[in-house]
Structure 1
Amino acid sequence: MTRFGYTLMTEQSGPRSLVDYAVKAEQAGFDFEVCSDHFSPWLASQGHAPYAWSVLGAVAQATTRAELMTYVTCPTSRYHPAVIAQKAATMQLLSAGRFTLGLGSGENLNEHVVGDGWPTVAVRHDKLEEAVQIIRRLFSGELIDYSGRYFRADSARLWDVPDTPVEIGIAVSGARSIERFAPLADHLIATEPRVDLVRKWRRTRPDSSRCIGQIPIAWDRDENAAIRRARDQFRWFAGGWAVNADIPTPAGFAGATKFVRDEDVAATIPCGPDLDAIVDTVSAYWDAGFTDIALVQVGDGSQQDFLDSAAGPLLEKLRHAAPR
Structure 2
Amino acid sequence: MRFGYFLSCEEYSPAELIEQAVAAEKAGFDGIWISDHFHPWNDEQGESPFVWGMIGALSQACSLPVTTAVTCPTTRVHPAIVAQAAATAAVQLQGKFVLGVGTGEALNEHVLGDAWPSEDIRLEMLEEAVELMRRLWSGEVVTVRGEHYDLDTARIYTLPDEPVPVYVSAFGPKALEVAARIGDGFINTSDDADTVREFKEKSGGKPCQGGVKVAWADSKDEGIDHAHRLWANSGLPGELSQVLPSPKHFEQAAQLVTRESTAESIVAGNDLDAHVEQMRSYVDAGYDEVYVANMGPHYLAMIEAYGRDVLPQLRG
How does the TM-score come out when normalised to structure 1?
Answer: 0.94
Report how far residue 111 of structure 1 moved: 0.7
Distance 1:258 1:198 in 2: 32
Report how far residue 241 of structure 1 moved: 5.8
Distance 1:145 1:289 in 2: 41
Deviations 1:98-155 (A, max 9, x none): 1000000001111111111211111111111110010011111111122211111111
Indicate yes or no: 2:300 matched with 1:304: yes
Distance 1:97 1:240 in 2: 37
Report how far residue 211 of structure 1 moved: 0.6
Unmatched tracts of structure 2, length 5 or more: none
Deviations 1:164-191 (A, max 9, x none): 3211100012332232232211001111
Q: Which moved more, 1:309-318 or 1:166-175?
A: 309-318
Q: Which moved more, 1:72-81 or 1:285-294?
A: 285-294
Unmatched tracts of structure 1, length 5 or more: none
Map of 1:38 onto structure 2: 37
The SS at the match of 2:251 is helix
The SS at the match of 2:110 is helix
Q: Which moved more, 1:165-174 or 1:80-89?
A: 165-174
Map of 2:166 onto structure 1: 168
User: Match for 1:194: what amino acid?
Assistant: D
* Contact 1:9–1:36 (CA under 8 A) maintained in structure 2: yes
Identical pairs, percent: 37
Q: 1:1-324 residue pairs with structure 2 within 5 A?
A: 2-64=1-63, 66-207=64-205, 209-240=206-237, 242-299=239-296, 301-320=297-316
Find runs of 4+ consecutive structure 1 residues off by over 4 angstroms.
none
User: Match for 1:248: what amino acid?
Assistant: P
* Contact 1:5–1:31 (CA under 8 A) maintained in structure 2: yes
Distance 1:223 1:142 in 2: 55
User: Match for 1:307: what amino acid?
Assistant: I
Change (3 A) 1:33 1:44: same
Distance 1:306 1:149 in 2: 46
User: Match for 2:13: what amino acid?
Assistant: G
Deviations 1:178-222 (A, max 9, x none): 322322110011111222222221222224x21111111111112
Corresponding residue pairs, total: 316
Distance 2:131 2:306 in 1: 42
The SS at the match of 1:18 is helix
The SS at the match of 1:10 is coil
* Contact 1:72–1:104 (CA under 8 A) maintained in structure 2: yes
